[in-house]
Structure formats: structure tokens, C-alpha cells
Amino acid sequence: MVEGHSVHRIATQHTRRLCGRSYKASSPNGRFAEGARLINGRSFSRIEAVGKNLFAFFAAAGQADVVMHVHFGMSGRWSVEDAAKAAPAKDTTRLQLEGHGIVSSLSAMTVQHGGVEMFEKKRAELGEDPIRADADAEALWERVSRSKKTIGLLLMDQGFFAGVGNIYRAEILFVASVHPNTPGKALSRAEFDRVWAASVKLMRRGYEEGSILTVDKAEALALGRPGLRRWIYNSAKCGRCNGRVASWDVAGRTCYACAACQPLDPSRAEEAEAAAPPKLFNSHCAGEGPRRGLRGRLEPSLNPPRAFLCRREPRGATRPACEAAGGGAARGAHGGRPRRRRQEGRAGEPPPGAPPPRG
């Protein structure tokens, strides 16, 4: 599942590349035909990320805005390419925007349209987004402290913590030294504050760097493990203490905890049933590999989900070091052309509510 930091990055990139212009809109697979008709020729005025959701606003003089809601699901994609090099639309392409020398293609699990009232309704259903500047930690604490659900469940509940997915859940609770099975109402204020602080720190780092990097570089060096990128997710041993990592199912998703670094208080929570060593797998969301951040610098990092902004490289262009090392593009199926890679470089103004990149 695409996590919130990736969605915010797409909003930032599209603010720079797409907003402020009008486009010819179409729905190549016909699944967004009415919406495409309504936004055709309108100005793409702004785009806003809330958790794992994107809201794109299309304006026309004297008329109410049309709002498009996007949720990528597991493997959505919203690309921007030079028109002369754009690939043909796929049967998964719900929306295509054309104009000003570019073609933008959107494939996603959810693409729907409505008015501003739709945005306001959906926004009210979502919780606090750690990446947004308008997040209200006090309001979230009031709700968490009354909940019988475990903090492991609450972190994945988009009505509480908007944008957090399974990787971040594991790493946030580890950094906060809180066991996932602790009920919200049993958390102390200090424990909640650690969870919220870790959510903000790790997800904003992901937004800025373009990767889920949860281990501070200084601590990784101090541990003698400079390549360490995450603590316990999809790992049999804890990256900090080398102790056993346990895993168990929570609402259909694998939950992780280090028994030593996240001790369970039996007076507040029950031990997880069927807890066992994790079954490790090759993660397309968190595989090791270098990438470039929003400012274009090369970072050793975790591979992203497929929902990203991309462009095609010119024929004969030299691949960056990350791709030559195997972390990026290989030759594609379109006449040997390079496969699409992320459009990088300096980001423009962030979308409303997003934090500015660190100086």
C-alpha cells in the first residue's frame, strides 16, 4: 500500500509541474469518462495530499470547482512525460491530461469526482496527518486516550493517523518504545507524545528523502551498521539490540515488535496470540537501493512503491549510478527504450499543509 510520504511527494511535484494550467482531459479506459469531461479545459488550480489521499482541484471562472479524489491502492501511478516521448495509454489509465508539451497519465484504485463538499466530507473522515502543518496532536490524543483499540490498530486506522501504513507502524512504535498491543486508553501521555513525535519525524523524513528511512545515520554508524535503514520491519532480529523480533497478524496485516526494546506490560495489554518469528519476504516497498531525494541528491535508501512521478530519459542518455547498480531502470518492452524512472530535481512550493523541505 502506498504510504503517506509518497502521496505528499506526488502533490509537491504536481504543484510544480501541472498546476496553474488548463489541459485536454480524457479517460482512455472509460472508467473516469464523466469526470474527465467535467475537468476538460479547466485550470488545474491546486492539489492537496491528506494521508494516502490526493485531492486535485479544477477551476473555471464563475463555476464551482470540480474536485478529483485519488487513492492509489497498492500500485497506482501518476506520471508526467514530455509529449514527444510519452508512452501510449494503458488499459489501466483512468485519466490523461494533455497540453503544454506534456502528457500526464493516472492509474489508481480510486479515482472519483465531486464538488468541494465531497472534499470537505472526506477530509472530515480522515485523521491527523503527521506530514501536514495543520495536524492537531491534541485532538488526536483526546481520541486515542478514550479508545479500547490497541495503538497498533489505531496507527493503521486512517481516521486516527492519516497516511501511516504497515512499514511505518512497525518503525514508529519501535522508535517510540511502545508495544503494538498497548490499548490507546492505557497509553500514558508521554508514550503518546513519543508515538506522535516519531510519526512526524519519520514520515517527514520520508517525504523529504523519498524513502522510508527510519534509522538515524548517527546511530547506524555508532552501531557499526552504516547501511541499516530500518529497525524491525520484515526482519528476524532487531537492528538495535540484535534480539528476536516477533510477528503476528493484526486485522490481516503483519505486526512486528522487539521484545527487549518494546517490552509488553502485562498489566495493560495481553501478549499476542500466535506470535512467532517473522516470515521474511522480498518487499517491493522497502527493498534496499539508492535513490534521489526531492533536491536531487543521491541517497542509499528503500525502493519506493510504484505510485510516483516519472519521465522518460532521452535515447542514449547515461543512466544514473543508482540504475546502473540495479536499483532503477532496465531496458523496457517498447523497442528497447529505457524504462520510465522518477522525475527528480528541485521541488517547487509544497501543497497546502505540507512542511517545507529542510534548509
pLDDT over threshold 90, residue 171: yes
Cell of 197: 513525535
Separation of alpha carbons 7 and 74, rounded Å: 12
Residue 187 CA to chain centroid, in angstroms?
27
Q: What is the pLDDT of residues 180-239, one digit of tens each?
A: 999 999 999 999 999 999 999 999 999 999 999 999 999 999 999 999 999 999 999 999
User: Which string of DSSP letters, residue by residue, matches 45-71?
Assistant: EEEEEETTEEEEEEEETTEEEEEEEEE
Inter-residue contact 234 to 283 (CB < 8 Å): yes
Grade residue 164 by pLDDT with cuts at 50, 70 and 90: very high
- The backbone torsions φ and ψ at residue 299, rounded to the nearest 5 degrees and listed phi first, read -130, 135
Inter-residue contact 235 to 261 (CB < 8 Å): no
Q: 44 CB contacts (<8 Å, ≥6 apart)?
A: 18, 19, 20, 21, 22, 23, 56, 57, 58, 97
- Which residues in 278-328 belong to E strands, given as ranges? 288-292, 298-302, 310-311
Distances from the Cα of 302 to the Cα of 53, 125, 255, 346, angstroms:
22, 30, 19, 20
Q: 142 CB contacts (<8 Å, ≥6 apart)?
A: none
Separation of alpha carbons 274 and 316, rounded Å: 54
Q: What is the pLDDT of residues 97-119, one digit of tens each?
A: 999 999 999 999 999 999 999 99
Residue 289 DSSP SS3: strand
Grade residue 329 by pLDDT with cuts at 50, 70 and 90: very low
What is the residue-averaged pLDDT of the chain? Answer: 82
User: Which string of DSSP letters, residue by residue, matches 21-44?
Assistant: EE-EEE-TTSTTHHHHHHHTT-EE
Residue 112 DSSP SS3: strand
Distances from the Cα of 270 to the Cα of 64, 179, 263, angstroms:
52, 10, 12
pTM: 0.78
Per-residue confidence (pLDDT) for residue 276, from 0 to 100: 63
Determine what percent of the chain is predicted with pLDDT higher than 90. Answer: 71
Determine what percent of the chain is predicted with pLDDT higher than 70. Answer: 75
Would the CA dihedral through 83, 88, 90, 95 be positive or negative? positive
Per-residue confidence (pLDDT) for residue 299, from 0 to 100: 33
Cβ neighbour number for residue 210 with a 10 Å cutoff: 23
pLDDT over threshold 80, residue 303: no
Domains for the chain: give ranges and CATH numbers: 4-124+306-342 (3.20.190.10), 130-258 (1.10.8.50)
Grade residue 75 by pLDDT with cuts at 50, 70 and 90: confident
Mean pLDDT value across residues 319-330:
29
Per-residue confidence (pLDDT) for residue 302, from 0 to 100: 32
Separation of alpha carbons 215 and 219, rounded Å: 7
Q: What is the pLDDT of residues 118-137, one digit of tens each?
A: 999 999 999 999 999 999 99
Task: Choose among 308, 317, 315: nearest CA to 342.
Answer: 308
Q: What is the pLDDT of residues 239-293, one digit of tens each?
A: 999 999 999 999 889 999 999 999 998 888 777 665 667 776 666 555 544 334 4
Inter-residue contact 239 to 170 (CB < 8 Å): no
Grade residue 317 by pLDDT with cuts at 50, 70 and 90: very low
- Count of helices and strands (H, E) across the chain: 9, 15
Cell of 319: 543512466
- Which residues in the chain belong to E strands, given as ranges? 21-22, 24-26, 43-50, 53-60, 63-71, 77-82, 95-99, 102-107, 110-114, 245-250, 253-258, 288-292, 298-302, 310-311, 341-342
Query: What one-character DSSP code corresponds to residue 226?
Result: T
